[in-house]
Structure 1
Amino acid sequence: EYRYRNPLVPVDSLFVAISQSGETADTLAALRRARQSGYLSSLAICNVPESSLVRESELVMLTRAGPEIGVASTKAFTTQLAALALLVIALARRHGADAERERGLVTRLVELPGLVEKTLALDAIIQRLAERFADKRHALFLGRGALYPIAMEGALKLKEISYIHAEGYPAGELKHGPLALVDADMPVVTVAPNNDLLEKLKSNLMEVRARGGELFVFADPESGIHPSDGVTVIEMPRHVTYVQAPVVYTIPLQLLAYHAAILRGTDVDQPRNLAKSVTVE
């Protein structure tokens, strides 16, 4: 979409292109358009060192996720999140950010592999949860703040590989449309880290239950969200910080999509109508 509009480019702007393969036609075309639009420089965040995107960009951050065979990106997505976090930290340093805070953020990122391992240990629980999704036709994913895009990622993975229609939506916008869809046949999946928006999120969840919706909540153990009739709670690792939460809460949503697809008998690695690298417009 980028190259079909006339963007306003502020002075000294950096153009950032993100791609797993580095061969996506639209992304490459956007990069080439950006070169003519007055950007100070271009940065590729990519998983393939030999790709066209890497060769054509002035700056490069390799995600180093290793080969990703399946069409639906999983580890490529989470490593892109980590790369973007590192980029933000580096930019903050250049703008005079406090050194102690910078060290704290880097420490939180270093802790991510351990938190991911703890999350992967929930696989058997998520597999049982997926059994309740296999016969569904629709699902709604909710998140607030930085976790809204993670809800969108969960919905995308579910529709990509299990062929269940799913929609990701900001929980705060629930009453502006999606709440009309909620009934007993519409599972609602929510990510609920213990952050400043938690109490607001709880209010959104009460609205879902009041309409008969079934909730599946991936929650911090200290969130105060408890299992009850129509509410299934999957306890996530404790004390996940705001910089860690997007990566950590992505993992169970990807696992949910994977197990739902297996139960439905779809091809997890090669979903219909899709390709790993979209090399044509």
Structure 2
Amino acid sequence: MTDERTRYFRRLGRLRRSARRWSVTAGGLTGAAAVLTPYAGLGLPDAAWAAGAGGAVVLAAWRWLDLRALAARPAPPPLDPAEAAARSRARLVAAVERLPVGPGVLAELRRVRARVALRGTSAAEPWTRLDRAALTFAGMTNRLTGLAEPAVLEATEADRSLRELAARVASVERALRLAPPDSRAPLAEAHRALTGQLESGVAAYERLVVAAAGYLAEHARPDGEHPAAARLTEATDLLHGVAAALAELRGIGRPLPTP
């Protein structure tokens, strides 16, 4: 999306080029009408030349008036570099999201960026465990239906909350490194409390993933033999029977050996 300042100067340039073009056209038609119009009076072709010249003059005048009106308005202020970079990133993200593999690529880039942001802090290891568990759970969400649907909603909210908590732990830890000795004790206590909450939350999320896997295993486990295995056994027996029947038919059609 183009900013207001760029649109202003583009429109100004278009009006200037249009005014010049119509001015040249009006001058050419007016000159041609003056030369070609006979002194004895106007004929039909001469009226066409005169009408074209008059219309071109009017259009040229309108374009110059529009140009003067737009040039009299102050140009919009230049866009802030940070805002321009944000808009450029938004356009790039929107373009990537329209690709077939765009959402997956963006999700992976966000995970990598978050992992890099937490590198070197105590939140990096719990975040890695959470990310691994979340990827495992994401592969099961389409099959967690019925009674398991509330668990999917809870897991989604817990994943978002725990990632925010990991970022908070990393921020407090970085601030703790810069804090003077007399104010370090309260920050250290807050950091220990947040780290404990993060560890317990990630462990609970991992238990939820294990429980979801157990639910899918029990929900999909049939009584006795799997239907696919039973069908394969039936197909195998059928092929063996057909092969035996063909062998018998071949033996019947073969002539008996002479004594």
Provide TM-score, normalisation by structure 1: 0.22
Greater share of helix: 2
Greater C-alpha radius of gyration: 2
Greater share of strand: 1
